[in-house]
Amino acid sequence: MTMQIDRRLLIKGALLGAGALALPGWGTALAQMMEARGFTHDVASGEPQHDSVMLWTRYVPAGGSNGRLRWEVARDAGFGRRVAEGEALASPDHDWCVKPVVGGLQPGEWYFYRFVDSEGRASSVGRTRTLPDGPLPRFNMAVFSCANLPFGFFNAYAHAAARQDVDLVVHLGDYLYEYPRGTYPAAEQTVAGRVIEPANEIVSLTDYRLRHACYRLDPDLQALHRAFPMVMMWDDHESANDSWQDGAENHQSDSEGPWAARKAAAMQAYREWLPVTEQGWTSYRIGDLVDLFRPETRLTARSRPLELGTFLAGKTDLGAALAEFRDDVWSDPARTLMGAEQEGWLADGLARSTADGVRWQVLGQQVIMGSLSMPPQVAEMLGAADAQARAYAEIGLAASRAGLPFNFDQWDGFPAARQRLLTASLNADANLVVLSGDSHNAWAFDLDLAGTPAGIEFAGHSVTSPGYESHVAVDPRQTAAVLVDHNPQLLWADTSQRGYFTIAFTPDEVSGEWNFLRSIQEKGAALSGTHRMAAAHGVRRFAA
């Protein structure tokens, strides 16, 4: 069945806090939100530890007053064997969202949970799991990124939600997108029934809350949250495209106000609407098998992304300008994604992890770490691409000839910071596995530091957002082959399919499987195929 997000349903089911009623332009429509009742957006869980987990729901009580809820955790879905219970208060200060942390649980166990209001009405029943402790033979993760609702159905979420072999879901960002209706995707690209609210670009706290409310009505996203605990962190689109500490490509201060206010609104809504910690960065120990480090690479300390085209504008000697850019600007050691404090935290964590005997050190972060430069064949592959795409390609080709990458928003734009991270990993004797999203395509990289193997990277394709296939005019298999042939660290790529990937850890091997959906234009979770790659412990390279 097509999911039609009806504005009237959304208004009645998504009260955005009493303060929203004072905003101009909303008036009577927002007042109707006072009619909302009950559990409006299902349940979710996250932030698992050995003995605790965070639960989430949203509850709008009668009359807009505070709503006191009871949460219950049990061994069985019928709640005959309850192990914990407590109370939570839903209030307009947090958009009626509650996030209680349940402690005193047993490691590595599945639990069921629900919320019950003062009248005895219960929410949906969710399932969650604590992290294992001690020796562990295997642990499986499902990894997602880049879910743009109007581009198609969240079939990847549906496929994963039905699985019985997933222990934890990891979301690497772009959980939602900030654009107005009719922009990325254009109106003619929007799948029928996949209509976002609000119609405008989201800028204010009310906007961000409503966009979260819109996305969280998706039944497949609800099913995924209901089935598994999730570890997650924003990338850029949860605030604005190509965001950094002090701004974003898609933020115009003259018309959209101060960036600091927009960033704060985006962060607040994200932390209200999702089962996530208030900490900027944290880690999760999974038995003696995995330490999963979850950094923040966007809003805390990221330096402004470089723009090679802007730097080259007006330069008459292209070769000299590229050399200056490469040797001075691009290589500047002060440039960072995480900042000195977080870099120190990660270096210490890697060292502590290996000293404790943990087998795999895993970095679940947003943007590709492997190096990618533009192959010379790209000019022939663009077909009828627009002038903007061709100008981007011309700059990319010039950069490639000068030994530069083409995407400066990725780790490629911060080479000194990447070198520091890989050096810290090697110094810790870590078995580094990097998980990445953002690019919309699927990749496998051998990461090295001046020729020394330093780790491997599984980079994931998007849930719905389009990839290289939307820009090139040749067979996607040719695109992938050209990219692999030109880039030494890149071992494999798929540049045209949507889906998600899974990672399986054992003491001796890590293996990843990219799952490709048959379609996102129609609802259905059938796969068109998979691709698997693996690496042995201690090798820091993919198996041949």
Determine the pLDDT at residue 3.
35
Q: What is the average pLDDT across 96-117?
A: 98
Structure tokens at 463: 């849930």
Q: Which residue has the higher pLDDT, 338 or 392?
A: 338
Determine the pLDDT at residue 35.
54
Q: What is the average pLDDT across 329-351?
A: 98
Determine the pLDDT at residue 471.
78
Multiple choice CATH, 293-520, 3.40.190.150, 3.30.420.40, 3.40.50.1970, 3.60.21.70 = 3.60.21.70
Determine the pLDDT at residue 394.
81
Least confident of 4-8, 134-138, 246-250, 354-358: 4-8
Query: Quick one: pLDDT band at residue 33, thresholds 50, 70, 90?
Result: very low
Query: CA 237, 243, 246: angle at the middle one, nearest 5?
Result: 145
Least confident of 50-59, 62-71, 180-189, 459-468: 62-71
Place of tokens 């598994």: 228
Q: Which residue has the higher pLDDT, 383 or 276?
A: 276
Determine the pLDDT at residue 16.
40
Q: Report the distance separating Cα 79 and Cα 527, nearest Å.
A: 35
Multiple choice CATH, 7-280, 2.60.40.380, 2.40.50.140, 2.60.40.10, 3.30.360.30 = 2.60.40.380
Helix (H, G, I), strand (E, B) or coil at 202: coil
Helices (DSSP H) in 447-517: which residue ranges? 476-486
**Which conformational region is residue 71 in: left (phi greater than 0), alpha (psi within -120 to 50 degrees), or beta?**
beta
Closest CA to 440 of 169, 173, 234: 173
Q: Are 347 and 428 in contact (CB under 8 A)?
A: yes
Helix (H, G, I), strand (E, B) or coil at 122: strand
The yes-or-no verdict on residue 17 having pLDDT over 70 is no
Q: Report the distance separating Cα 193 and Cα 410, nearest Å.
A: 33
Determine the pLDDT at residue 377.
85
Q: Report the distance separating Cα 201 and Cα 369, nearest Å.
A: 30
Place of tokens 């490691």: 107
Determine the pLDDT at residue 391.
74
The yes-or-no verdict on residue 7 having pLDDT over 70 is no
pLDDT, tens only, 108-154 = 999 999 999 999 999 999 999 999 999 999 999 999 999 999 999 99
Q: Report the distance separating Cα 86 and Cα 71, nearest Å.
A: 5
The yes-or-no verdict on residue 22 having pLDDT over 90 is no
Determine the pLDDT at residue 390.
72
**137 preceded by cis ω (within 30°)?**
no
Q: What is the average pLDDT across 320-328?
A: 96
The yes-or-no verdict on residue 27 having pLDDT over 70 is no
The yes-or-no verdict on residue 87 having pLDDT over 60 is yes
pLDDT, tens only, 233-262 = 999 999 999 999 999 999 999 999 999 999
Q: Report the distance separating Cα 542 and Cα 116, nearest Å.
A: 49
Average pLDDT, the chain: 92
pLDDT, tens only, 194-229 = 999 999 999 999 999 999 999 999 999 999 999 999
The yes-or-no verdict on residue 353 having pLDDT over 60 is yes
Determine the pLDDT at residue 11.
39
Same fold, 7-280 and 293-520: no
Chain centroid offset of residue 123 CA: 27
- What is the phi/psi pair of residue 438, to 5°? 75, -40
Determine the pLDDT at residue 14.
42
Q: Report the distance separating Cα 360 and Cα 214, nearest Å.
A: 37
The yes-or-no verdict on residue 380 having pLDDT over 80 is no
The yes-or-no verdict on residue 65 having pLDDT over 80 is no
* pTM score of the predicted model: 0.93
Q: Report the distance separating Cα 391 and Cα 386, nearest Å.
A: 9
Task: Give the residue extent of every domain in the chain.
Answer: 7-280, 293-520
Q: What is the average pLDDT across 254-271?
A: 98
Determine the pLDDT at residue 271.
98
